[in-house]
A and B are shown apart, each in its own frame.
Chain A
Amino acid sequence: MSDRPLLLGVRHHGPGSARAVRAALVAHEPKVLLVEGPPEADAVVRLAGERTMVPPVALLAHAVDEPGRAAFWPFAAFSPEWVAISWAMERGVEVRFVDLPAAHSLALPRQPGAEPELKPEAEHDDRAAGAGPQPGQAVGDPDGEEGEESSCDGGGESDLRVDPLAVLARTAGYDDPERWWEDVVEHRGAADRRHSDAEQDVREQTLAPFTALEEAMAALRETHDDGGHRRDLVREAHMRLRLREARREFGDDAVAVVCGAWHVPALREKHAVAADRGLLKGLPKLKVDVTWVPWTHRRLARHSGYGAGITSPGWYGHLFETVDRPLVRWMTRVAELLRAEDHPVSSAHVIESVRLAESLAALRGRPLAGLAETLESVRAVMCEGSEVPLALIEDRLIVGDALGEVPDEAPAVPLQRDLTRLQRSLRLKPEAAERALDLDLRKETDAARSLMLHRLSLLGIAWGTLDTHRSRNTGTFRESWRLSWEPELSVRTAEAGIWGTTLATAAGVKAVTRASEAQELGEVTLWAERCLLAGLDEALPQVMRELADRAALDSDVGRLAKALPALVRSVRYGDVRGTDSAMLRRVAEGLAERICVGLPPACSGLDADGAAALREQLDAVQHSIAMLADEGLTSRWRAVLRSLSARESVAPLLRGRCARLLLDEGELEADDAERLLRLALSTGAEPADAAGWVEGFLSGGGMLLLHDERLLALIDGWLASVSPTAFEDVLPLLRRTFSAFEPGVRSNLGQIVRRGTGGRGASADDTAYPGFGPEPDAGRSAAVLPTLRHLLGGSLAVGGSTPAAATPVQDPVGASR
């Protein structure tokens, strides 16, 4: 018969295909089953029959020496390959994987010009095209860096290879290949069964869909050649050789192949063995390990960023499991979910949803309601047009929460190997006994050790704890760690394997995920800082992006102001480490801009505590903006301060503080400062407000009053004029303000006040600081010079001292700061 051997071309992760494959296998009972997948997996395929193996799972092949080079072959319960393998395990039929060995495919150089980001089309590729469920996706790569299999050349011709089914669907008049496939293959199950009464027809019947698909693919391949993908030729050559081997061993009738529909015509063709061998000659090779890892429906879903994605694993799972009235049962599940979430949904709703879905399908000329119709009717009937419950349905049902399990005997995950390799190369042995480790980050090995430890702690593998007390004492280039390896850390490592195959990628993926899940802006900032410490250059931009988004939506200026200093610190730190801090800087500046805009409204209507809290943030923002040193930003910030200082509705404490900040910046002339102080202390102002203004103006150093006696005179005069009752009210405020001054300043202030402040202006030539004469005392100044010379390294010439040496002496107060 021409159908020998049994070539079952499938769409990966298609429940219709899976059902058809199972029926064909049951009807034909082959003795050996060949499956598209890495032959290295032959060694672990028996684990698939274990009771503890629960799909979704994935075969993971990775280079032994470079765990970052890895590829996954995911299987869901409704994947045709999985169904075929399970069938074989039940019947004790031998399973062989026939694709190009991962030893070669991982060793082949990644395609030049591969785009750094996965395109949706490229993801489409593996699912629909039958190119093999072989994303070749570097695991946990935060960028979703493109693997060799899912690359797409972007040329018109390769569209076909990328998605031959899309071409077929277009030919059939469908805009969406997914829907075409659903109509033609996935939904045919029910229709087929009606016809398959006659016993002898069953065997033929089971092959009908495969034959049709094979013909279509053959026609496509004829017109479009290999679609520009040379690697397929090599893979197919390998498949043919393995197929030939199996046929010789078991006989033509006893072999079945399950592979992507695209490959079927190539396997059917006759090729010379020598030609096939020739294609396989001289391929690069790597040492490769294969193991099973648990998978999730979320990762199967296209939007999780991995290749071989399907949008609706939950829906497919339902279609596969539910033979009897799938639509009704699906709607009931939706209703149950919505009820559990407190949306009132009655049976009448379910009935109407089913009716609307069926009518919609009829309007669109489809045999059965598909996911699109189902969702639209759920939206119109059960959700009352709202997208919110629909998102829930999408998340819980259409994608679903299924998490696979893998037996304990499955070989170790690559993350552990990566760690072992790093431990060896960095000469850090895991020891149970606690020990201290001092790192000098300027040394290469130590810097690498620091990165490793930071990444481990980010992954929750707490081998080392950073000893902050000791590091702080020793400066930015040093880190002090305490190391201790507990046995449970191995378990942690295995758990962390879900994030990726290497320490760097795993930590990156985790940081990005956690940052996007974080509730508070501060948390995101924290993850950004951790990324920076752990040197996760790829994850950092994504975390920053998240941060920028959060900052844009956060309307609480307090939170923004709280996040800014850490961020600016990171900018500075990034500069030290030589990482590209342009992105960080942009986000920090954006944050600062938002603070500039949001601060004025946030400053009005505050109580005393709120004002005090905001005052501290004002200082912190001022400091951060100074560190950012952006001219435009600084001038805008000053404008904000200026407008705040003049606005009556702003708490006096903050107004005073703004005036002070401006004065310190040199933006406010001494005369203006005096005017503002006079205004704040004028008789029209409440004494408590005036005291608040003074507190804001003077906190953080009273030297100002020594410099400009006019200010002191104003305060002095005001205090004397305050009524006795009001005095009792303002006393605590003033005490708080003045007690924060340095003792020296306080005593000097006392002296001036005792001497009397009137009549001496700051600008007068004969001004002298209290306790000092009007002119420098040459004899006493000279006494300081030897010490100064010692401090400045002998460059100070005693003879020609006058201007240079005299300057610091002339300003003893300044020097004492």
Chain B
Amino acid sequence: MSKTSAAEEKADSSSAEQGAQALRPHAEDAFADELRALAAADDRPRPERWKMSPWAVSLYLMGGTLPDGTVISPKYVGPRRIIEVAVTTLATDRALLLLGVPGTAKTWVSEHLAAAVSGDSTLLVQGTAGTAEEAVRYGWNYAQLLTNGPSRRAMVHSPVMRAMSDGMIARVEELTRIPADVQDSLITILSEKTLPIPELGDEVQAVRGFNLIATANDRDRGVNELSSALRRRFNTVVLPLPASSEAEVEIVSRRVEQIGRSLDLPPAPEGLEEIRRVVTVFRELRDGATVDGRTKVKSPSGTLSTAEAISVVTGGLALSAHFGDGRLRAADVAAGILGAVVRDPAADSVIWQEYLETVVRERDGWKDFYRACREVSA
């Protein structure tokens, strides 16, 4: 314990310096204080090599207050049960697959889970169409290979391999983008918990504490659908879109503020009303029903995620700051909304027109919004 904490401290101090300069610090650096306080307060049983108990991990993600008064900020705004299932899955020997439409915080959750469980969120494989087997298993340092012949020293360890030997959490982003044959190299790792190295007649066996978090986008499931053999090794958790309008307004305005600051946009004092409207429009079209639950509407083909709502509002802010009077108005967001909603010019524009005519037009206080949308849609 003392050894690890000393190492931790050292790592903390060095990475904290880096973190201050980095455009985006790692989760374990940005929230180092919270993690330390949680680990100190946590007296529940921990799975082997976990930095804290499953209970503390879910507290770290959902936020709360510790007995000593330390406030843990919520990392994930959404149903608690989702995080509980995810954390529990990591404690068993099944891997975790986070599914969701783009913009539902899959990567964010996986990063924080890894940071809380292993104290390290950097054992990451980014899945692309070009991800090769070496990125998942191991590669060779050819200079070493030629001079010394095949040996452990000549190997280049993949993040997954390092996680296995150290008993940490490995992360695979965008699993479904990885070609199927490379995906399948995970099967042995996940079922046998071993990585054979036939070249050396050797293997790397995973030690306790190893597990894997994969994220995948369920919109483009068809890109490289997981084989059922691999699928069976995962427990699947679907991250939903924000449940309530209020929660989503909260997320959007918080993120818009952060992004706006980094882009040096002037603050928008009266923008909340417009944000609320954008969120309402997105939610209604996404859910296929008006917020009062009285009228159904058709859903367009776009995903209309919270992330897109954020970009519509940021775009609107930029418009109003540079070309308008600095106040976020309906006209500033109208074009952005149109672009987000109408992805398929034929079908979506009918849906959008219908929504405008049957829902927006009738709504009290939305006259300016309706007019602005009519203008850009015509």
Contact = CB atoms under 8 A, between A and B. Distances in A.
Given A356-B85, A548-B295, A555-B298, A385 B232 contact: no
A251 interface: no
Interface in B59-96: 81, 84-85, 87-89, 91-92, 94
B325 to A, nearest CB: 32
A380 B54 contact: no
Nearest to B234: A384
A590 B358 contact: yes
Interface stretch (B107-115, B195-203, B245-253, B349-357): B349-357
Instruction: Kindly name the residue among B85, B87, B231 whose own CB sees the greatest number of chain A CB atoms within 10 A.
Output: B85
A552 to B, nearest CB: 4
Interface string B21-64: 00000000000000000000000000000000011001000000
Contacts of A372: 81
B358 A380 contact: no
A596 B361 CA distance: 14
Given A363-B54, A385-B99, A593 B357 contact: yes
A381 B350 CA distance: 39
Interface centre among B228, B296, B346 (most CB of A within 10 A): B296
Given A377-B85, A552-B297, A385 B350 contact: no
A363 B218 CA distance: 28
B354 A356 contact: no
Interface string A126-152: 000000000000000000000000000
Interface string A322-363: 000000000000000000000010101100100110011001
A597 B296 contact: no
A376 interface: yes
B94 A352 contact: yes
Contacts of B58: 363
Interface residues of B, number: 35
Nearest to B232: A348
A116 B357 CA distance: 32
A356 B297 contact: no
A553 interface: yes
B235 A381 contact: yes
A477 to B, nearest CB: 35
Contact of B91 (A359, A364, A594, A597): A359
Contacts of B218: 385
Contacts of A3: none
Interface string B230-274: 011001111000000000000000000000000000000000000
A470 B235 CA distance: 67
Contacts of B295: 548-549, 552, 590
Contacts of A381: 94, 235-236
B172 interface: no
B350 A598 contact: yes
B358 A385 contact: no
B97 interface: yes
A356 B234 CA distance: 12
Contact of B236 (A360, A364, A385): A385
B288 interface: yes
Given A359-B91, A380-B237, A593-B358, A344 B296 contact: no
A522 to B, nearest CB: 18
Given A552-B298, A597-B350, A598-B350, A385 B237 contact: yes
Contact of A359 (B92, B350, B357): B92
A601 interface: yes
Contacts of A356: 85, 88-89, 92, 94, 235
Contacts of A364: 84
Interface in B324-376: 346-347, 350, 353-354, 357-358
Interface string B290-318: 00001111100000000000000000000
Interface string A362-385: 011000000010001101110111
Interface of A, helix, strand, loop or mixed by DSSP = helix
A693 B237 CA distance: 58
A639 to B, nearest CB: 12
Contacts of B99: 385
Nearest to A386: B238
Contacts of A596: 357
Given A359-B92, A601-B346, A376 B85 contact: yes
B81 A597 contact: no
A363 B232 contact: no
A352 B233 CA distance: 10
Contacts of A555: 298, 347, 350
A360 B94 CA distance: 14
A338 B288 CA distance: 28
A552 B299 CA distance: 10
B48 to A, nearest CB: 15
Identify which of A356, A549, A597 gathers the most chain B CB atoms within 10 Å of its CB: A597
A355 B54 contact: no
B297 to A, nearest CB: 6
Given A355-B92, A553-B298, A598 B354 contact: yes
A348 B238 CA distance: 21
A348 B55 CA distance: 27
Contacts of B357: 593, 596-597, 636
Contacts of A359: 88, 91-92
Nearest to B94: A352
Nearest to A361: B88
Given A597-B350, A597-B357, A346 B85 contact: no
Nearest to A555: B298
Contacts of B297: 552
A667 to B, nearest CB: 20
A363 B88 contact: yes
Contacts of B94: 352, 356, 381
B296 A553 contact: yes
B358 A594 contact: yes
Contacts of A349: 232
Nearest to B237: A380
A553 B288 contact: yes
A380 B85 contact: yes
A397 to B, nearest CB: 20
A597 B377 CA distance: 13
Given A355-B92, A356-B89, A380-B89, A549 B296 contact: yes
B338 to A, nearest CB: 15
B324 to A, nearest CB: 30
B228 A344 contact: yes
Contact of A363 (B87, B97, B358): B87
17 contacts: A356-B92, A360-B88, A363-B84, A363-B87, A376-B84, A379-B85, A380-B85, A381-B235, A381-B236, A387-B238, A552-B295, A590-B295, A590-B358, A593-B358, A597-B350, A597-B357, A598-B350
Closest 5 pairs between A and B when the two form their complex, measured CB to CB: A385-B236, A552-B296, A385-B238, A380-B235, A597-B354
Given A360-B84, A552-B298, 15 more contacts: A352-B92, A352-B235, A356-B89, A356-B235, A363-B55, A363-B88, A376-B85, A380-B235, A380-B237, A383-B236, A384-B236, A545-B294, A548-B295, A596-B357, A597-B350
